[in-house]
Structure 1
Amino acid sequence: MEDEIMTSAEAFEASALPRRHEVHSDPDAPAAKVDTSVPASVTATPVQKKSPAQWAYERLVLYIQNFEQTLDQDHEVAMGFAGSSAGAMRIEGLGYFDPDLITYYGSDETGARTQLVQHVSQLNVMLRALPKQPEAPEAKRIGFRLAADLETAEGETSA
């Protein structure tokens, strides 16, 4: 039990802050060791002031980055399509269009360019590990670039 005393304004603010919590069956599994903190760039703007698309985008970025931290140097992050025979898409870009669309850019297993546009109410992403491209000297890490963009994009908007 915490004995911290808060004003009603502090309690209201704390209740609106984003939190992450995960539990895994194997405490030594790579997925159990990912960072579940929420960066200041994500908590700087109150959730109530974010569009559903921005809020979904920011959380997807964190999941992708953490998933990549569990991969070895021979694998890259991709997404699978639940309930579909579309296969998997190597994630090479991620974006959102306010107020409610998320878009994924990448390539499929044959190397064909792909883009998925998804309404936030239909958000259902399965992250997968695919072997890196044979000709690539090292696996690409989109999660690092996405997280860096969260840090620099705070307060910026694109037309």
Structure 2
Amino acid sequence: MDDDIRTTAEAIEGAALRRAGVVHVTDCGTTPEEEELPASVSKTPVEQKSPAEWAYERLILYIKNFEEKLDNDHEVAMGFTGGDAGIMRIEGLGFYAPDIITFYGSDPGGARTQQIQHVSQLNVLLRALPKHVDQPEPKRIGFRLVQDLENG
């Protein structure tokens, strides 16, 4: 135990400081663990967020960062882990407090797909899929999600 005396404000600020880290074997650019949290995410202390809301906000940052590294011919998709369910183009993301995360999208054949996941089972593999041939520009869900965070 240290002998430091902290004010209540300092204690609250210390508790709100983000804990994150990352190590890479090759340069892959800046990752969400290294970036500052957007003001919209850090305005509410983590202790006041449900596990679903906090997971949702961080997933948005990961998806946006992944999309920033894609070329104009690819879009973000997610692979399902632990099963044979395949992959889904991410077209939407939501949470239902206190503990549910929902992914909305479509499979490579275009069928509507939704995954509902408890935060304790959250396991997401982001993949790059070629955009549809008849689509002039790739869809970027990460940028929309961040806009929603900032406007929320």
Q: TM-score if structure 2 supplies the norm length?
A: 0.89
Q: How many residues align?
A: 146
Is 2:44 the partner of 1:45? yes
RMSD between aligned residues = 1.7
- The answer to whether the aligner puts 1:33 opposite 2:1 as a matched pair is no
In structure 1, stretches of 5+ residues that fail to align are 154-159
With a CA cutoff of 8 Å and minimum separation of 6, indicate the structure with the bigger relative contact order: 2
**C-alpha separation between the residues in 1 aligned to 2:111 and 2:68?**
26
Code of the residue aligned with 2:119 in structure 1: it is: V
Distance 2:26 2:30 in 1: 10
Question: For the residues of structure 2 that align with 1:117 and 1:51, how far apart are their CA atoms?
Answer: 16
The aligned runs of 1:1-159 (5 Å cut-off) are 7-9=6-8, 10-27=10-27, 29=28, 32-34=29-31, 36-153=35-152
Which one-letter code corresponds to 1:43 in the other structure? S
Secondary structure of the equivalent of 2:26?
A: coil
| Amino acid corresponding to residue 26 of structure 1 in structure 2 | T
Normalised to the residue count of structure 1, the TM-score between the two structures is: 0.85
> Are the counterparts in 2 of residues 104 and 116 from structure 1 also a CA contact under 8 Å?
yes
Whichever residue aligns with residue 33 of structure 1, its letter is: T
Distance 2:18 2:141 in 1: 23
Secondary structure of the structure 1 residue equivalent to 2:138: coil
Work out whether residues 34 and 66 of structure 1, in 8 Å CA contact, stay in contact via their aligned partners in 2.
Answer: yes
Distance 1:16 1:140 in 2: 34
Contact 1:91–1:106 under 8 Å retained in 2: yes
Partner deviation per Cα, 1:88-109 (whole Å, 9 max, x = no partner): 1000000001111000000001
CA offset digits 1:4-40 (Å, max 9, x no partner): x99443144223222443221112x3xx334522111
Could you tell me how far apart the structure 1 residues matched to 2:17 and 2:42 are? 7
Q: Deviations over 1:96-152 (max 9, x none)?
A: 011110000000011100011000111000000000011110111000000000011
CA distance in structure 2 between the aligned counterparts of 1:97 and 1:116, rounded to whole angstroms: 13
Q: Point out where structure 2 has 5 or more consecutive residues left out of the alignment.
A: none
